[in-house]
Structure 1
Amino acid sequence: MGLDFAWIAPGTKTPLPWRHVTPSGEVHAWPQSGTSRVHMKAGCSICRGFRASETTSLAACKPLLAAQWHPTKNGSRTPHEVTPGSRRVVWWLCPDCNYAWPARISSRALGGNGCTRCAGQVALPGDRATLAVAQPDLYAELDVERLMLSGVDPLTVHVRSNREVPWICDGTPRHRWTMSPAARMNGCLCPECPHLGQTSRPEQTLLNLMRQRTGNAVSNAPAGEVRWLDRRGRSLPARCDIVLPALRVVVEYDGWRYHDAANRRRCDRDKTMALLNSGWRVVRVRERTASKRLVDLDIIDERLLQIQHRYGHDLAPVADAIIAWVTACDG
């Protein structure tokens, strides 16, 4: 039985069949309510990309992306039945690492998001982004038994995960707490052990390297009796990241997240000047990433060494450069 359009109101919400021919000769047919067409002035759903066709489907618009469509986990749905702007969540299969993951179609087709494993957001056993591979010393402090009881494979814990996991203090095994690996990587230590201060993982690594090369390096210690005025005008002891008392050298590791602010740059400069005026030699390791870079302090002094270091790279060359600089100054 056909529709009698003489009895259909323009504002009806009932889906009606529509059809039109594109300039290229393609016939588009789609259902749509009368109110959306008459009152909302909506046009062809296929031309606007809301419905898939031979020319607007994901397979037609993004053939390379459609090739990553998971062949078995999406049921009977195919890339020919969805559009690039669809908000539907489907399964994908990475051609590089063979990892399957769910993601919204629009986030991949329009947002440009790729494989979560290749991007380092998800880790599988043996991946470089796992805590076991990237930080074996830190992995040794994981409470593996509690982690496995919660249904998490310890070998899949991501080195930058924000999910809290259980830990066992390597110094005092009776100390147990939960904390995210990201916080541990940022220098957070056992909350029950007494610490002079929290230090970041790069600072700890650089400290160990300097101890190997000099035999006398102190962490988070004051540089003699040197004092400086902070941004609030308080007179504070110049506590430094690494102090080499025998060489009268202090090493400051400046992470870009904390030292990038304008007020922190002023504090870094004032503290450095106070140390230089007191006869100390200062090394400032300025951290940089792929998109961020800490500029050097505007201080010209032969007793100041500023080194640019790429975050995540080996710190051994930095330690060697510091020793070479100190040797050259003494020579």
Structure 2
Amino acid sequence: MAVAQAVCQWEGCSELGAFSTRTKPTWCLEHLGSLLNRAGLKAVDDFPGKVTAYWLTECLVCGTVAHYRLDYIIEKMDSEKPCRACFWWQWNRDPLVSRATEVEDVNVVRQHAAEMGYEYLGACFSPSMSGDPHRVQCRRCGKIEARGVGNMACSCRKSGTRRAPARQPGASNLFKDSGSKFLSWWDRDLNSEKDWLTTPSKATRKIHWRCADYGHKFVSSPAGLWNCPTCIERRISEYRKETDSYADKSVADVPEILAYWADERDPATVAANSRQQFVFTCENGHKARRAPRLRGCPICRGQATKRKNIELATTDNAPPRMGAELAEQFHPNRNGKILMAALSPESGRMVWWRDPNCGFEWQDTPGARDKRERLRCPRCESILDSLAYHYPDIADEWSPSNPQTAWQVRPTGQTRGYTPELVCKSGHRWQATTASRTNGSPCPECSVAGKSKIELAYLEALSAIFPSVHSGLLIRSQKFTHARAWRPDIVIEADDGSRSVVVEYDGSYWHAEKSETDTNKSLDLIAADYNVVRLREHPLGSLPVSSDHYLELVAYGLTDDISRIVATIEDWMGKRQK
């Protein structure tokens, strides 16, 4: 659902806001500048269009240039300085903190910034005392910040810790294809065939099940299924019965517990139901701490699991226990007798890895590889579950002009500070979020979806004359006042520095009730330095647009002489360029 663009909240202003909102206030571009001034800042770049996008600003007090979100500025402006350089400088000189005691070594700060993934841009203040902020720019997302040595960690490295791999387009998410251990529990007598064919693996609707162990019947959703409720109730009942039998008894009163007691404390003083841990032995002589009621030796269980994993790992084609992407980085030569298939994904054992892309080799544990930043390669700063790994075909479209590579963004993650540029096999360039592209949105120029036959006919005719003609491009401009972006039918790109030309074909059926929208679109494009040609199909009326950069022609659909109209457009463009 489209969000209506509200009016600027500045007192006495009736202009449209610079960004759309449902419930929160908005401001026009002029008064956004006034709002920044109230916060002690001024804009360096154009407003990015969203309150949650990072905006490059300059502090009016200390002159520090850094990125801040508009919603952050609004939140902080009435309580503290939004400028982090001023804030941390003042905090560092608080008598209760007293950190600014000596001049800081800038070379040490520069080296630390590089280790944390930043480009060092310089000290915010001179002289820079210990604890003072410094200007740094994240090499991953390009955000410029004022940070002290102790808090150099960009938020882009803490977000997107997604463990589950992205689902490929067309892949099934149905329960019947999930490989779940509960597939055998599906009650085919009470569930319909339609349920079996259509139920998603994470569905919340109620389904009939039959316990595979004892045949108990129950109802649960696939998303909430984890065990048989009757079996669970039985086990709880048995546990409570055993607990009641140990009431008022000490460890010394229960022979089966006392037989393995090895703690220094007197067993007669320890309750058999105690939840505290004490030292016990086992038949194999292992000593381990556990609660009295817990049976079995944890060391024996761990060794048994290890033997089982090693046994499975030595079989032919043993699958790795860790993820496929980590498994392909397991070094084939430097890990000695360590079996990859026997390693747990949470293992703390230090092993060697090698990135198949760049060949870099390093040591780390499997457990640490899948935490925090989840880096695929620490030298390339690529990440696990990246767009390039799961969608290599989309990665081939990734433009080298983007500040990050396709190995550094996730398929549905957000890119901070920019919208990715893509280049299709035909050489068309367009911008799209990673989520929209992985969800199937194609190149707008190659796609014919939503384009009429007459529009495609004009596109072909204009492409035969002009060297750079585009279809379906999304145009954004700070000069737009009626919408944040427009998608014209056809754009003829000028190669001599003059205005590019937008050609719009208004079909009589679809545009019968769109005169206001067509007018607003034309006025916005003209204001953004485009020449606009509108082909209004008979019997549509003329639009109330008066400008030297606007041409309106009457068209008659596919029966029209397209070459005649194209020649008129060419002649008009030539006059505009003179």
Same fold (TM over 0.5): no
TM-score (norm 2): 0.21
TM-score (norm 1): 0.37
Question: Which has the larger Rg?
Answer: 2
Name the one with the larger strand percent: 1
